[in-house]
Chain A
Amino acid sequence: MNENLAALVPETALCATAVIGLLTGAWLPRRRQWTVAVLAAAACVTGLTATGITMATGREQTVFSHTFAVDAATDVGRLTVLGALLLIIAMSVETVRGHRRETEYWVLLLLTGAGTLALIGASDLLMLFAAYLLAGIPAHALAAFAKDAPGTEAALKYYLMGALLGTTMLAGTALLYAAGHATLYRALHATLPHAAYGLVGVGLIGVLAGLLFKAGAVPAHFWVPDVTDGAPTPVAAYVTTVPKIGGLIGGYRLLHEALPDSDVNWPLLLAVIAAVTMTLGNLAAFFQTSVKRLLAYSAISQVGYLLMALAVATRTDLAQKSLLFYIAAYAVTNLGVFAVVTELPQARTLDDYRGLARRHPGLAAVLVVCLLGLVGTPPTGVFLGKLEIFSAAVDGGFTWLAAVAVVNTVASLFYYLRWLAPLFATTAPAPAEAQTVLGRWAAGAAYTSGTASLALGIAGGALLPLTTGPLLR
């Protein structure tokens, strides 16, 4: 049995740093608690390095009785999550600096990050559920970090919804266990095709419910706008980006590894969920005036595009690379927008962004790149992702879904432009205090993400080959 702990360096680094950070923070005076942030960043860098080494030396393997797979999907997922965590750490600096519970903030962030990493690699239903909890519970606490009324409400909603769908997921796990007599994907792969159709179908829906909750897809999306609006902005950036990576790659692995030969028609189910998710997200985003709510609904619609890859998971070779690339590009682009929102804490509505281009041309440029990126305008990374994912959908026989996605993309342009156009307005600019900036770290995160979003599109040829490679079970 392979119990190679070295394969799990990123996960271990985050968990160990969380423990060390908590202990250190307990003894540090408040003004020195930034040390924990440095530790957290160091853990992410360690994880990135370890992943780089794994990829360079080709040490793909499954560990601990095949419950955890370290393969191409895990590698790219880890790079994305850890990179995203670094950006979130940078944009959080000013928000939590000197806060009474600063240490707790960093520790919770590390723990939920570790949970997301576990979701990505989980190759066993029970492992998947444990990861669901580890990724979820610290995030619920983070949502209420500010201890204000909107934050508390957001956290309660997030928690209740997570608990409900977590239970559903556990029930689904039990049903799949009953149907396939195993929880390991490699065993389910062989037994599920012979199991009772209804049992597998209901069990799968149960497990997917939890994963869709993580991703924020319809019908498990109700928490997204409230949490995004109520939580501190860096936390909102986190919940709309990172859990999605875990939920979608985890879901992809489940469908691709455990149910490829099952006669349950899950491709159609996911295609319908994808279509509904992108459409509802876009429609709801249309007339939002609060930037955070607009971003929340935009995040929902983006999940719809990403789910297209899950629908064609076993139908085309393009599915995996399109999913992994899109999700990486989406993560940096979305974080870029949130970094700008963090940098301008007083600007809450679209009108507060009037005339930003004149006052802060750099931030306006990041917004232009990232919002047009979210639309899928070349040459940003999301464009390349969209190209791949549309190709995958057409190749997988869901041309209608690609057409729906195209219509939705055009529709989404409308509300992104509602935000972009005021930036360049020359008449009636917003008052200067609405556009006061927070500090250097958040701005740095914004510039970094904006650049990365462009670079992923122009130099996408470098990353794309990394996303191909067999999944292990």
Chain B
Amino acid sequence: MLSVITFLPLLVCAVLLLWPRALGDRAYVWVWIVTAAVDLALVVTVWAGFDQTGGTQYQQRVRWIPSAGVSYHVGVDGLSLPLVALTCLLFLAVAVYSLKERRRVRSYVCLFLFLQTVGLGLFVALDLILFFVFFDLSIVGMFFVIAGWGHGERARAAALKFFLYTFIGSLALLLGFIGLYLAAAPHTFDIVDLTSSNPLAGRGLYAGLVLLAIGVGLAVKTPTVPFHTWLPPAHTDAPAAGSAILAGILLKMGTYGFVRIAMPLLPGSWRHYALVVVVVGAVSVVYGALVALAQTDFKRMIAYTSVNHMGYIVLAVGAAGSLAGSDAQARSLAVTGAVTQMVSHGLITGALFLLSGVLYDRGRTYAIDAYSGLAAHTPRFAGITAVAAFASLGIPGFSGFIAEFQIFTGSLASQAIATAIAVTGILITAALFLRALRTMFLGVPRLPRTIPAGGISDLSGTEAVPTVALMAVALVIGIAPRWLLDVIEPASRTLTGLVAR
């Protein structure tokens, strides 16, 4: 079942590439929409059949390269299932949004279908090498999206930087995986086997180095300070759909790696170095928010708030490794908050990036002070952007609040100072979003000269449907989160148990 969900987009991609006759631009996108919808429906059935207390389910394990200790092993648990669902939902939203795309649509659709397989494959992978394959391919796919559909020649440079930078991370990750592989007897890359055997228990420096390699690899992808510098140019120059996927799915690969690999496979070192993780998380929160505050470019600002939001997750997973001064319930709460934040950030920031695409589409610039009084011309656009901005800064009623509340409550007991510092991040993001909203939407109506004489048009159907849908899901999670938390919580308890052993 999971293999079908994972490889369905890739299969459709192959069919589209080999299809002998050229279809219309919209036909390609419709094929993509149908594929994404079918995939989402399949995930919903998986969710419906998911036993919340049953651990890892829908497992499938096939011998792949046995002599190298690699198997094709997939499965979902409470940590990965929400992300799998998020991936399907976000890709469906992006597909609808892409109905207006006119540039080389076939390649565009194929790349995104490929990326969907890569994203889904990563979240269901239960083998380190399988995980790595998708981790690496996500870079390749996104490179072509940015270079091919980004904003001009600058995008090519940004794509190159993105590829080189994140590739360093992925190779560091590979070294760490090799370290784990060699420590296990018999040698294996299987995550489930490695989790149960805990091969690096009591290996001191060696385990620390393995954690360093894996940690750096995941930190580059997440990204956390100081490895975040690839993110702003990549986002700024990527097309809106690419940014939404980059922020919504690709960044989650890093944070998901922490809860799937770093914590359960290296529990001893994770506990030992938890404080480092917490500090990195708190610094990312504040630094990301401060730098976002200084931005004059709307999209770049959202990119930096991603650093801020990812910082909360890193803080939470670090706090989950600090045993002193906390009980199992608090640590489990932190992990639940972290996973909820991954989902929440995917929904809200995905929507924000799509909206920033609308802005660029109308005015050919992201500069905040080029616009003023937009609310008068484009009430729907202003409304939904305002809602997304409020959701992003963590206002109660949306998923971001649920996530951040749990993170702070879970982290406070063991890491009071870091948590207190991190809370200021919310204040700063509130300030920067309010400032941007005021400048762009309120005041005297003024538009950049690039906008044609006919004036600026409001959100069209293909732009409104995906963004409103994403915000609606964020709202549902914010008001009635139990259906999501019931899935995540048992897995968080299992994870904190593994870390504490």
A, B: real partners: yes
Q: Report A's interface with B, CB cutoff 8 A.
A: 321, 372, 375, 377-379, 383-384, 387-388, 390-391, 394-395, 402-403, 406, 409-410, 413-414, 417, 421, 424, 426, 460-461, 464-465, 468
**Contact across chains for A414 and B63 when beta carbons are under 8 A apart:** no
* Segment of B38-46, B81-89, B170-178, B228-236 engaged in the interface with chain A: B170-178
**Contact across chains for B67 and A321 when beta carbons are under 8 A apart:** yes
B129 surroundings in chain A (CB, below 8 A): 378, 387
A387 surroundings in chain B (CB, below 8 A): 68, 129, 174, 178
**Contact across chains for A421 and B137 when beta carbons are under 8 A apart:** no
Q: Is B273 in contact with chain A by the CB < 8 A criterion?
A: no
Q: Is B30 in contact with chain A by the CB < 8 A criterion?
A: no
A461 to B137, CA, bound (A): 20
B150 to A: closest C-beta gap in Å: 12
Contacts A413-B167, A464-B65; is A379 near B133 (CB within 8 Å)? yes
**Contact across chains for B68 and A394 when beta carbons are under 8 A apart:** no
B7 to A: closest C-beta gap in Å: 13
Q: Is B148 in contact with chain A by the CB < 8 A criterion?
A: yes
A461 to B143, CA, bound (A): 29
A47 to B132, CA, bound (A): 37
B186 to A: closest C-beta gap in Å: 12
25 CB < 8 A contacts A-B: A321-B67, A372-B140, A378-B129, A383-B133, A383-B136, A387-B174, A391-B178, A391-B181, A391-B182, A406-B172, A410-B167, A413-B163, A413-B164, A414-B160, A417-B160, A421-B147, A421-B159, A424-B144, A424-B148, A460-B68, A461-B63, A461-B65, A461-B67, A465-B66, A465-B67
A461 to B104, CA, bound (A): 37
**Contact across chains for A464 and B68 when beta carbons are under 8 A apart:** yes
A421 surroundings in chain B (CB, below 8 A): 147, 156, 159-160
Contact with A along B112-150 (1 / 0, CB 8 A): 000000000000000001001100110010011001100
B65 surroundings in chain A (CB, below 8 A): 384, 460-461, 464
Beta-carbon nearest neighbor of B181 in chain A: A391
Contacts A461-B65, A461-B67; is A378 near B133 (CB within 8 Å)? yes
A406 surroundings in chain B (CB, below 8 A): 171-172, 174-175
**Contact across chains for B168 and A390 when beta carbons are under 8 A apart:** no
Q: Is B64 in contact with chain A by the CB < 8 A criterion?
A: yes
**Contact across chains for B175 and A417 when beta carbons are under 8 A apart:** no
> Which 6 A-B pairs rank lowest in CB-CB distance, beginning with the nearest?
A461-B65, A378-B133, A464-B67, A406-B171, A391-B178, A410-B168
A417 surroundings in chain B (CB, below 8 A): 143, 160, 163-164
**Contact across chains for B178 and A461 when beta carbons are under 8 A apart:** no
A383 to B140, CA, bound (A): 14
- Scan residues 57-80 of chain B and give those whose CB is less than 8 A from a CB of chain A: 63-68, 70
B67 surroundings in chain A (CB, below 8 A): 321, 461, 464-465, 468
The number of residues on chain B lying at the interface, defined by a beta carbon within 8 Å of a beta carbon of chain A, is: 33
Beta-carbon nearest neighbor of A379 in chain B: B133
A414 surroundings in chain B (CB, below 8 A): 160, 164
A135 to B: closest C-beta gap in Å: 30
Instruction: Known A-B contacts: A394-B179, A402-B175. Give 8 more (CB < 8 A).
Output: A321-B67, A378-B133, A383-B133, A384-B68, A387-B129, A395-B182, A413-B164, A426-B148
B15 to A: closest C-beta gap in Å: 16
B146 to A: closest C-beta gap in Å: 11
A211 to B28, CA, bound (A): 54
A270 to B67, CA, bound (A): 26
A377 surroundings in chain B (CB, below 8 A): 136-137, 140
* Interface residues of B, dominant DSSP: helix
A424 surroundings in chain B (CB, below 8 A): 144, 147-148
B156 surroundings in chain A (CB, below 8 A): 421
**Contact across chains for A390 and B144 when beta carbons are under 8 A apart:** no
A372 to B143, CA, bound (A): 12
A410 surroundings in chain B (CB, below 8 A): 164, 167-168, 171
A414 to B168, CA, bound (A): 12
* Interface residues of A, dominant DSSP: helix
B360 to A: closest C-beta gap in Å: 19
B61 to A: closest C-beta gap in Å: 14
Beta-carbon nearest neighbor of A427 in chain B: B153
A379 to B163, CA, bound (A): 17
B246 to A: closest C-beta gap in Å: 18
Contact with A along B359-382 (1 / 0, CB 8 A): 000000000000000000000000
A421 to B129, CA, bound (A): 27
Q: B64, B65, B70, B181 — which one has the most chain A CB atoms within 10 A of its CB?
A: B65
A460 surroundings in chain B (CB, below 8 A): 65, 68
A350 to B: closest C-beta gap in Å: 14
**Contact across chains for A394 and B178 when beta carbons are under 8 A apart:** yes
B93 to A: closest C-beta gap in Å: 26
A384 surroundings in chain B (CB, below 8 A): 65, 68
B232 to A: closest C-beta gap in Å: 20
Beta-carbon nearest neighbor of B157 in chain A: A421
B70 surroundings in chain A (CB, below 8 A): 461
**Contact across chains for B68 and A388 when beta carbons are under 8 A apart:** yes
A413 surroundings in chain B (CB, below 8 A): 163-164, 167
A321 surroundings in chain B (CB, below 8 A): 67
A414 to B159, CA, bound (A): 11
A280 to B145, CA, bound (A): 32
**Contact across chains for A409 and B171 when beta carbons are under 8 A apart:** yes
A410 to B164, CA, bound (A): 6
Beta-carbon nearest neighbor of B169 in chain A: A410
A465 surroundings in chain B (CB, below 8 A): 66-67
B144 surroundings in chain A (CB, below 8 A): 424
A7 to B: closest C-beta gap in Å: 26
B176 to A: closest C-beta gap in Å: 10
**Contact across chains for A378 and B136 when beta carbons are under 8 A apart:** yes
Q: B129, B159, B171 — which one has the most chain A CB atoms within 10 A of its CB?
A: B171
**Contact across chains for B178 and A402 when beta carbons are under 8 A apart:** yes
**Contact across chains for A390 and B68 when beta carbons are under 8 A apart:** no
A94 to B159, CA, bound (A): 38
**Contact across chains for A378 and B68 when beta carbons are under 8 A apart:** no
Contacts A377-B137, A410-B167; is A394 near B147 (CB within 8 Å)? no
A321 to B129, CA, bound (A): 18
A426 surroundings in chain B (CB, below 8 A): 104, 148
**Contact across chains for A461 and B167 when beta carbons are under 8 A apart:** no
A402 to B64, CA, bound (A): 25
A419 to B85, CA, bound (A): 37
B181 surroundings in chain A (CB, below 8 A): 391
B194 to A: closest C-beta gap in Å: 15
B456 to A: closest C-beta gap in Å: 28
A374 to B70, CA, bound (A): 21
A388 to B182, CA, bound (A): 11
Beta-carbon nearest neighbor of A325 in chain B: B68
B64 surroundings in chain A (CB, below 8 A): 461
A468 to B67, CA, bound (A): 9
Beta-carbon nearest neighbor of A375 in chain B: B167
A276 to B64, CA, bound (A): 35
A394 surroundings in chain B (CB, below 8 A): 175, 178-179, 182
Q: B67, B104, B132, B140 — which one has the most chain A CB atoms within 10 A of its CB?
A: B67
A402 to B168, CA, bound (A): 13
A394 to B148, CA, bound (A): 38
A384 to B189, CA, bound (A): 13
- Scan residues 12-56 of chain B and give those whose CB is less than 8 A from a CB of chain A: none
A398 to B: closest C-beta gap in Å: 12
A258 to B345, CA, bound (A): 60
Beta-carbon nearest neighbor of B129 in chain A: A387
Beta-carbon nearest neighbor of B182 in chain A: A395
